[in-house]
A = this chain, B = another copy of it.
Amino acid sequence: MNTLGYAILGLIDKNKITGYDLTKIFNDSVADFWSAKQSQIYTELKKLVDAALIEYEVVIQGEVLEKKVYSITTKGKEELNTWMHEDEPPLSQSKDVFKLRLYFSEQLTSQELCGKFEKQLEKCQLLLTRYTIKFNEYDSTVISAAKIGDYLLLKGAIAHLRTQIEWINESLVYIKK
């Protein structure tokens, strides 16, 4: 099974959920450390059902809309548990087009390079604002076990973005000099 399958399994284990809501969580909370397209998520859900790791019930919403609500099976819980205890792969599997282009910066003028850094800065600042708002909703003294991961990840993401912003600003100074 691929990692996306385990990510979905873990999310379904947290709560019974529809494919639609699962996709929303991927775009929101999980996007910082695991990305997936909607089509991939639906493909994976089908595989997980076929492997009997999850099951679903069809719920009628309103007059006509049917939706599948997925829940994890005992076999799924075992599979998730085994994966959770495995060792992590080596560091640095990230794919970052901005950094890749920076590595080839001799292809660009200083001005073009600064333009790329400034756009990146803007994106980081926007994301930092979003994460900070989310983080401020937490009261660090009362966090449930199910939320500790989310809380620590947000803290890490904020620290990472601040470092990134500082680095971009320093780089801009370096390039312009």
* Any B CB within 8 A of the CB of A111: no
Contact B152 A100 (CB under 8 A): no
A102 touches B167 (CB 8 A): no
Asked if A31 is at the interface of the complex by the 8 Å CB criterion, the answer is: yes
Contacts of A30 in B (CB 8 A): 100, 103
> Are the CB atoms of A167 and B175 closer together than 8 Å?
no
Copies of this subunit: 2
CB contact list, A135-177 vs B, under 8 A: 145-146, 148-150, 152-153, 155-156, 159-160, 162-164, 166-167, 170-171, 174-175
Given contacts A100-B7, A160-B160, A164-B156, A95 and B34 within 8 Å (CB-CB) = yes
Interface size counted on chain A using CB atoms at 8 A: 66
Tell me if A116 is interfacial: C-beta within 8 Å of chain B: yes
- Given A33-B94, A84-B108, A160-B160, output 4 extra A-B contacts at Cβ < 8 Å: A91-B123, A99-B153, A103-B150, A106-B148
12 contacts between A and B (CB under 8 A): A33-B95, A34-B100, A88-B101, A91-B127, A104-B149, A148-B174, A155-B170, A159-B166, A159-B167, A160-B163, A160-B164, A163-B163
